[in-house]
Every structure is written in C-alpha cells, then in structure tokens.
C-alpha cells in the first residue's frame, strides 16, 4: 500500500487486523489490513492475539470464550479456547463473515513479508494469568511451565518467517518465558491499570517497548466505549519516562482520529488502532 501524506512519524499498528473494519484476528483481516486498500493506509505491523487450543495448536483469537466472536452453539458458547480441540474451532464462523479461526501459521503466511507482527500472548492454556507473586508456589511452577511451552511453540512458528516481530503481553509470565526462550526477540509490556507497575515490569524484562492504554497518555475525558473505563492512571508522563529508559511507546486501542492526534502530539511511537485512517484525518497543528 501507499503511505498517506500526514502519517507523521507515528507507526500504525493494526489492532487484531483493524478490527473496526475487518473480522478480527482472521486471515481476511491481515490480508486486507496489510494491503492498505482502505484509505491507502498500510500498517507497519499487524497486532494479533494468540492462545493455544486443547491439542496444542496456536490460534489467533481474542476472547477466552467462544461466544462473542463465533457462531458456536449455546452449549459451546462458554467453552474456553484452550479447552477446545482445534478441529472444533476450525468449523466455527467468525462474526458471521465466513472466516474461520486461523492458526498462527495461516496468519503469518497471509501477511506480506514487509509487514511486521505484534503477537500478543493472551494466555498459555489456563485462565489464571495473575502476576506470579500472587500465586501459591505450585501454581507458580505450573504457570511457568505452561508459558514456557507456549512461548517456545510461538517463537518456533515466528522463526520460520522473515517478519519483524514484537511480542507483547499483559502477563508477566509471558514476557519472562519469551526472554528465556530467545532473548533476541523484542518484547513489550502491556499496561492495564497502573503506569508505575507496568514500567516496573518493563524494567524487569528490559522491554523494548511499552503498550499503555491510550487514556494513560492523553486526556481521559473523551469517550471510548470499550476501554474508557480503564484508569484513572497516575500522574506520570509515561512517554517521557519510557523514552528516557530507551523504550518505545505504542498506545492501544485507538479508534478515533482525535485520539491518534493527541497521542501523536504527546510523542508516542505507535498507535494500535482499530481503523486504518486514524493518522490521516483531522489533527491540530503542532
């Protein structure tokens, strides 16, 4: 795709493959997102969520349950992805589009080599992704083993491609496992509810990037249906702090041009966006 005129120097990262306009986390989404057909904006990276199936396949899927995203029958709607065999998942329709739940390999095959991939580790096959210090010792070991196995499998799949890779996660266990499996793979700490805690995790794993929710950076008074309830966040300039420490800042999930524009002026390196046009329209003078 072609570059738009006012992209500035902010990277565009397609959230779930631009979930605002394509069926999230599917082959069709990454193909169309990467091609830049929509408003001429191609992303530097596509963000996808990954988790294992019951039989150890890696699929790109956001929710723990099957109900929202697929046409799973009522008795399967609450079923967890990691408790479902791949064969069952592969039969489901995604958001009524005719798309299927893809494997990570299918997604990587569909993505042009010059588009990077931000692989967000959702969970390793267990719902319990609490910070390890909050777990009893046995659960800590079990969680560690699950993350290690999953990280090795995902990194294997990624190493078979030439894509630029950035692994990210809310879960500290995922960052630890990826660092241990291959310290050369760049990682990003995704922040949920505290800038200070997120930055501490970023330091612990020497993360190349941090991924705060956009309203931890810009004005929080604007309405964001899915994420606007996050926070309030501490009065910390996360962009300045992260940059001082040599970490890039990619903010999620940007849905509107005015969010992107505020973030651009706040100095972020990238926006993880649902719509391809967020960096192209509107915008105040610098």
Site residues (CB under 6 A) for ligand G3P?
15, 47, 49, 62, 120, 168, 190, 211, 252-253, 272
Residue 120 near Mg ion by CB under 5 A: yes
> What residue 168 binds from ligand G3P, Mg ion, none (CB within 5 to 8 A, per partner kind)?
ligand G3P
- Collapsing DSSP to helix, strand or coil, 257 comes out as helix
Pairing between strand 209-211 and 248-254? parallel
Q: Which does 253 bind (CB under 5 to 8 A by kind): Mg ion, ligand G3P, none?
A: ligand G3P
Nearest-CB residue for Mg ion: 120
**49 vs 261, beta carbon nearer ligand G3P:** 49
Pick what 211 binds: Mg ion, ligand G3P, none; C-beta below 5 to 8 Å, kind-dependent.
ligand G3P
Between the two ends of the chain, the Cα-to-Cα distance in Å is: 27
- Closest CB 136 distance from ligand G3P, rounded Å: 27
How far apart CA 284 and CA 260 sit, in angstroms, is 11
Candidate segments 82-90, 98-106, 116-124, 146-154, binder of Mg ion by CB under 5 A: 116-124
| Residue 153 contacts Mg ion per CB under 5 A | no
- CA atoms of 256 and 113, how far apart (whole Å): 28
Alpha carbons 125 and 146: distance in angstroms, whole number: 7
Residue 252 contact among ligand G3P, Mg ion, none, beta carbon within 5 to 8 Å by kind: ligand G3P
Nearer to ligand G3P (CB atom), residue 29 or residue 272? 272
For ligand G3P, the nearest residue by Cβ is 252
How is residue 145 annotated by DSSP?
H
Q: How far apart are CA 42 and CA 33, in angstroms?
A: 7
Residues 40-59 close enough to bind Mg ion by CB under 5 A: 49
* b/e sequence 137-167, b meaning 16+ C-beta within 10 Å: eeebeebbebbbbbbebbbebbeeeebebbb
Binding footprint of Mg ion on the chain (CB under 5 A): 49, 120
């Amino acid at each position: 795709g072609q570059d738009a005129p006012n992209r500035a120097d902010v990277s565009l990262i397609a959230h779930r493959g631009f979930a605002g306009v394509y069926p999230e986390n599917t082959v069709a989404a990454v193909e169309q997102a990467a091609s830049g057909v929509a408003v001429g904006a191609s992303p530097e990276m596509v963000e996808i969520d990954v988790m294992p199936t019951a039989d150890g396949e890696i699929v790109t899927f956001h929710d723990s349950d099957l109900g929202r995203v697929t046409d799973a029958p009522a008795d399967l709607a609450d079923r967890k992805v990691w408790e479902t065999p791949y064969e069952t998942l592969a039969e489901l329709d995604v958001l009524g589009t005719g798309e299927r739940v893809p494997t990570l390999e299918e997604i990587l095959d569909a993505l042009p080599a010059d588009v990077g991939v931000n692989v967000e580790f959702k969970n390793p096959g267990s719902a319990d992704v609490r910070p390890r210090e909050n777990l009893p010792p046995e659960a800590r070991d079990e969680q560690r083993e699950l993350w290690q196995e999953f990280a090795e499998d995902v990194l294997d799949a990624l190493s078979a491609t030439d894509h630029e890779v950035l692994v990210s996660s809310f879960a500290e266990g995922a960052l630890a496992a990826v660092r241990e499996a291959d310290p050369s793979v760049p990682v990003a700490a995704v922040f949920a509810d505290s800038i200070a805690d997120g930055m501490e995790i970023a330091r612990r794993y020497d993360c190349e990037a941090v991924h705060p929710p956009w309203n931890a950076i810009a004005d929080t008074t604007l309405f964001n249906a899915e994420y606007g309830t996050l926070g309030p966040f501490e009065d910390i300039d996360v962009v300045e702090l992260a940059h001082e420490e040599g970490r890039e800042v990619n903010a999620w999930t940007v849905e509107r041009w005015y969010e992107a524009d505020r973030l651009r002026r706040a100095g972020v390196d990238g926006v993880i966006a649902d719509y391809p046009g967020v960096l192209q329209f509107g915008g105040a003078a610098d």
